[in-house]
Each structure stands twice: as C-alpha cells, then as structure tokens.
Amino acid sequence: MRVIVDQGKCVGSGQCVLSTAQVFDQRDEDGIVTLLDDNPPPELHQAVRQAAAVCPALAITVLDEP
C-alpha cells in the first residue's frame, strides 16, 4: 500500500488523525494533514482506507501496490 495526501485539498478536519494517528498528523499552525508513513504496515491498511473514506476533502489517495 502507498498513501498520498494532497495538502492543497485538506481542510484540516482531523478525521484521518483520529482514524490512524500512526500514519497521519496535522500541522500545528493550520491543521493541514502531514503524512508520517506513506507505506504503512499491513495491520494499518484497513484503518488507512477508512481514513481516506471519511476525509471530507478527499485529500487522501490509497494505492494498492503489489
């Protein structure tokens, strides 16, 4: 799995951080998403997919790589 975030789309809702704090964080100054791990371990894949699904700005892309 590869995770990509588009900081330009992010509205700072923080749903991704609530879902998967091991992969996502927010900048202190404006709440925009930061990516901590663009290749999370398999045990976090479902949570990352959930984070992408609940992102109101659709700023998270999940690529399934072999």
5-16 tens-digit pLDDT: 999 999 999 999
Residue 18: give its domain's CATH number.
3.30.70.20
- 4 within 8 A of 48, measured Cβ to Cβ: no
As for how many domains the chain has, the answer is: 1
Q: Which residues of 7-37 are buried (b: 16+ CB within 10 A; e: fewer)?
A: eeebebbebbbebbeebbebeeeeebbeeee
Phi and psi at residue 16, to the nearest 5°? -65, -40
What six digits make up the tokens of 66? 């072999």
Predicted confidence (pLDDT) per residue in 29-51, tens digit: 999 999 999 999 999 999 999 99
How many Å apart are CA 35 and CA 66, to the nearest integer? 21
The range of the structural domain enclosing residue 40 comes to 2-63
